[in-house]
Amino acid sequence: MGEFVRLEIADGIGTIRLERPPMNALNTQVQEELREAALAAAGDDAVRAVVVWGGEKVFAAGADITEFTTVSYQHMVGRAAALSGAFDAVARIPKPVVAAVTGFALGGGCELALACDWRVVADDAKLGQPEIRLGIIPGAGGTQRLARLIGPARAKDLIFSGRMVEAEEALRIGLADRVVPADRVYATAVELVKPYTTGPALALRAAKQAVDAGLSMDLAAGLALESHLFAGLFATDDRVEGTTAFVEKRKPKFTGR
């Protein structure tokens, strides 16, 4: 698909593969290719779940800082929204998405992992938001998604200090969902999302939308959204199949329609 980011599809799983050696630095080109891959995964019915994978050695060690040394405020005013939008494209994939994190996930790399539904992390991986050490703050969702995931106090600790978090602490504070040996990260990520490749795609889409959108609403609005999405699923073939299979005491065969 792109020079540094490609979408590989096998057995219902789309792998968004970053490959910009040595550290998968997320320069402007990588960001745009990431957006394209996310949109392709979202729109392809053959993709029922997604793994974001940086390879066996590193997930992504952050933005390409060489691009920051001479950039002006005027330029970044226009560029910042596009940067955030590339990660939003991953967050908005209406399918289960897991980050397979090896090596470093720092700065933009951590923000990319935060844009996924889950994070499978290598036992020797390191995650963090070190932007403060450059005199800036996270600019692609780090201050928002991290606080929602692990709570504001812990998020402030990581963002204010810029320190790196090892896998054990990441698991303890909720930044990681599973910690496994490095050579098992990708396989474990695939195992995590594999069941969803034969699940009710429209119901999974609705569930993700309800949870994610509900986080930015008050309870009454969130409940109204949930009710709307719940009712809409009664127009799907999978609802008919799921309820019928339950009554007939058999395993449902969902088609994603």
Q: Specify the range with the lowest mean pLDDT, choosing from 71-80, 116-125, 199-208.
A: 71-80
For the chain, where do the domains classified as CATH 3.90.226.10 start and end? 5-197
Q: State the Cα–Cα distance between residues 174 and 88, nearest whole angstrom.
A: 21
For the chain, where do the domains classified as CATH 1.10.12.10 start and end? 200-247
pLDDT tens column, 56-100:
999 998 877 777 777 778 878 877 787 889 999 999 999 999 999
Amino acid sitting at position 225: L
CATH code of domain 200-247: 1.10.12.10
The CATH number of domain 5-197 is 3.30.360.10: no
Catalytic positions, written as ranges: 63, 108, 111, 131
Burial 210-247 (b: 16+ CB within 10 A, else e): beeebeeeeeeebeebbeebeeebeebebbebbeeeee
Q: pTM to 2 decimals? A: 0.94
pLDDT on residue 207: 98
Q: Are 175 and 128 in contact (CB under 8 A)?
A: no
